[in-house]
């Protein structure tokens, strides 16, 4: 098995905040059918707060939505310094401060029925009541969510709800921004990896950053069954769609042999309440069209 090509070190002049994290501009979604047509895509992306801090408001340029973000993935050349602090393995720079971990994740679940979602291109706080259950309704059996207990895993070998922790992002970066591109490509794998140029203005990449809508069991989605004030499902639609042929599955995904069951047979009509273990992408897939 061939090894991946060695990533060259960025031509940095010293150590700084770029060693620990990277500030970027992300394309969030495209407004194809009116101001609220990207609400689901934007809510989904802005939900992945484990290693991404979203800065400021969503910005609109034409039909596209963008947001500045801090990607809390260190440079792969950053390492502890035996003498204290940290050092750059590529250039032998050093600094007295150790490597900095990610900032605390921004909350998307605010307690009770309060959530932070995107509505008409803006991040808002909304009360999203849980679905009403009939008085004599039988309790859901343990197998109602096929993702419960699934051995799916992300590239860091963490098991469970892999699709809710793995995502693809689109980073705005032109070929002329060579140093920025080198910094992106030098992030620590697998937390930011598979960087490729997807157009004249952007890079595509895969990240591990868990969704903030996950419940305490880290499998079920807190938005499942809830509705927005206008009646639309609160849960992003791409989290409730069945996989399609050609989708890339995480190892151990329960759906890897179950594509098409929604058309009939075992499992028909069952919606995963934690997600589908495929690498989700809305941003730069649209850019490729």
Kindly give the confidence (pLDDT) of every residue in the chain, 289 residues in length, as a single tens digit, with 9 standing for 90 and above: 445 557 789 999 999 999 999 999 999 999 988 888 899 999 999 999 999 999 999 999 999 999 999 999 999 999 999 989 999 999 999 999 999 888 888 999 999 999 999 999 999 999 999 988 766 655 554 446 778 888 999 999 999 999 999 999 999 999 999 999 999 999 999 999 999 999 999 999 999 999 999 999 998 999 999 999 999 999 998 888 767 777 778 899 888 765 444 333 333 333 344 444 455 554 443 433 3
CA distance 101 to 48: 17
Altogether, the residues listed in the chain come to a count of 289
Distances (CA, A) of 219 to 65, 164, 190, 225: 29, 8, 21, 15
Q: What's the pTM value of the predicted model, to 2 decimals? A: 0.85
Residues 6+ positions from 127 with CB-CB distance below 8 Å: 112, 113, 114
**Long-range contact pairs involving 262-268 (C-beta distance under 8 Å, separation at least 24):** 267/146
Q: Which residue has the tokens 């179950």?
A: 258
């Amino acid at each position: 098995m061939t090894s991946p090509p060695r990533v060259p070190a960025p031509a940095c002049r010293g150590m700084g905040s770029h060693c620990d994290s990277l500030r970027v501009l992300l394309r969030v979604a495209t407004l194809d059918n009116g101001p609220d047509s990207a609400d689901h895509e934007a809510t989904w992306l802005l939900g992945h707060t484990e290693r991404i801090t979203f800065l400021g408001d969503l910005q609109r340029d034409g039909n596209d939505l963008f947001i500045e973000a801090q990607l809390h993935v260190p440079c792969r050349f950053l390492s502890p310094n035996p003498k204290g602090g940290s050092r750059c393995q590529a250039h032998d720079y050093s600094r007295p401060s150790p490597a900095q971990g990610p900032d605390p994740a921004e909350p998307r679940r605010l307690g009770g029925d309060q959530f932070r979602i995107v509505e008409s291109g803006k991040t808002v706080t909304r009360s999203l009541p849980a679905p009403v259950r009939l008085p004599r309704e039988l309790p859901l059996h343990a197998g109602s969510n096929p993702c419960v207990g699934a051995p799916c895993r992300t590239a860091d070998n963490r098991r469970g709800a892999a699709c809710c922790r793995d995502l693809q992002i689109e980073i705005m970066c032109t070929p002329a921004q060579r140093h920025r591109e080198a910094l992106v490509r030098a992030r620590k794998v697998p937390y930011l990896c598979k960087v490729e140029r997807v157009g004249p203005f952007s890079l595509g990449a895969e990240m591990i950053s868990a969704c903030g809508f996950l419940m305490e069991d880290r499998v079920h989605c807190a938005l499942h069954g809830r509705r927005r004030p206008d009646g639309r499902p609160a849960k992003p639609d791409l989290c409730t769609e069945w996989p399609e042929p050609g989708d890339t599955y995480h190892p151990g995904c329960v759906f890897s042999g179950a594509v098409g069951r929604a058309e009939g047979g075992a499992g028909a009509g069952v919606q995963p309440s934690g997600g589908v273990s495929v690498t989700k992408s809305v941003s730069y897939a649209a850019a490729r069209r």
